[in-house]
Amino acid sequence: MKILFTVETYYPKKDGVQMVTQYLAEGLASRGHDVTVFTSNIDENKNFETFHNVKIKRFDLRTKFGLYFGDRKKYIKDVLTKSKDIDVLINVCTQTAFTDLLLSHLSEINCKKILYMHGMYDFGWHLYNFSSFRDICNKIWKNIRWMPLYLKKSNFLYYDKVIQLHPLCVGYNFFVKRYNIVPFTLENAADSIFFNDVCIHESSDKDKYAICVSNFLPGKNQKFILKAFYKANCQNFGLVLIGSKKTNYYRQLIKLNNKLRKKYGNRDVKILTNQSRSITVKMIKSASMYLFASKHEVYPVSIIEAMASGIPYISTDVGCIRALPGGIVIKNMTEMINAINFLHDNLTSSKIIGKCGYQYAKVQLKVEEKVIQLEKLLNKIIK
């Protein structure tokens, strides 16, 4: 089977969408399929390469502030040309040039077509939208920018199948009610390395620190975690924050940590970047709890990785996390502090909660199973 994925971020970029797309593309390639990925060439000098049996073609194309920049005509032309020689086109995510530019050309593409959603824009207003005048303006702009995209039903009727991550996703019910399209559900997953050597019962290392692995960006809200950690009554207990690179938000975290240390006293806090995959995995599996405070998510892979590692999570109430076992969902700072104290002070309960998440992930959330599920869907659509 010849398959083309279009996605804005891919290897070596690091984010949730990249991770899921990469393990699916590489998984299908390992099962003998001819897989190509069209993606952005931001920060990349290569225009074409092969990585883990997946062919990657990069374009001068990107989405910024809801607008599309780069060589749009070449991208559209190359997709139309490539579509004549493939069985399935998989567009990953809306609100990105790599999908939206093709919507008006779907009728010209004769191969089977799949829209793989990783959530959709939430038009509702939330407290964090009022954090500053800039946030308010940003929200107004995005509401105006994305409303025409989703109001136009014809944008999505040419797809043979729409994939959503979970029935609780905003986009799932939206597509059912507005377009009468019942999506196929394909949950995110964790790599097998997280399931290996999990010692949820006996590990003596799992009482020393909490961890969060996420890019250092305002939306990931690590400041919230840092403040809650210092306010929690957990002595001889550390916190590890890991991001892919040093950003402006990373520098703000360093300053905030210094300020909190002066106010509450010295605590064991590590704010790290550029850690290898193996080291990051080891640190997650050896932690006692996983902290997550994003302002907006759909189905974060990092939560699944914590579940697969057998450690309980504490998370803000975003996306479909409230439907996942193995953790505590919180709505504010006080609840985060109380949850940290509870897991820290009640090790037996903490391990039981972590085990619940592990058992669910072991059955439902393995990469190999998701690749097989997608392969079966593709075979069904083609036949």
Please tell me the pTM assigned to this model. 0.86
Alpha carbon distance 194, 366 (integer Å): 10
Q: Please write the tens of the pLDDT for every residue from 22-40.
A: 999 999 999 999 999 999 9
Checking DSSP bridges between strand 67-70 and strand 88-92, what pairing results, if any? Answer: unpaired
In this structure, are residues 165 and 188 in contact, taking their beta carbons and an 8 Å threshold? yes
- Give the type of residue at 122: D
Does the pLDDT at position 47 exceed 90? Answer: no
- Average the pLDDT over 335-342 and give the result: 97
CATH topology of domain 192-364: Rossmann fold (3.40.50)
Q: For the chain, what percent of residues have pLDDT higher than 90?
A: 79
Checking DSSP bridges between strand 327-330 and strand 112-116, what pairing results, if any? Answer: unpaired
In this prediction, residue 124 has a pLDDT band, given cuts at 50, 70 and 90, of confident
DSSP 2: E
Highest mean pLDDT among 141-145, 223-227, 281-285: 223-227
Length of the chain: 383
Q: Please write the tens of the pLDDT for every residue from 232-259.
A: 988 889 999 999 899 999 999 999 999 9
Domain at 2-189+367-382: CATH architecture: 3-Layer(aba) Sandwich (3.40)
Domain with CATH 3.40.50.2000 in the chain: 2-189+367-382, 192-364
In this prediction, residue 202 has a pLDDT band, given cuts at 50, 70 and 90, of very low
Q: What is the pLDDT of residue 198?
A: 56
Cβ neighbors of 261 (< 8 A, separation 6 or more) are 230, 267, 269
Q: What is the pLDDT of residue 130?
A: 86
The token pair that represents 230 in the structure block: 């210092």
Q: What is the pLDDT of residue 246?
A: 94
Alpha carbon distance 300, 322 (integer Å): 12
Pinpoint the alpha helices (H) of 101-202: 133-151, 170-179
Q: What are phi and psi of 182, to 5 degrees?
A: -95, 110
CA-CA-CA-CA torsion sign (188, 296, 238, 337)? negative
Alpha carbon distance 275, 10 (integer Å): 19
Q: Please write the tens of the pLDDT for every residue from 57-81.
A: 999 999 998 999 999 999 999 999 9
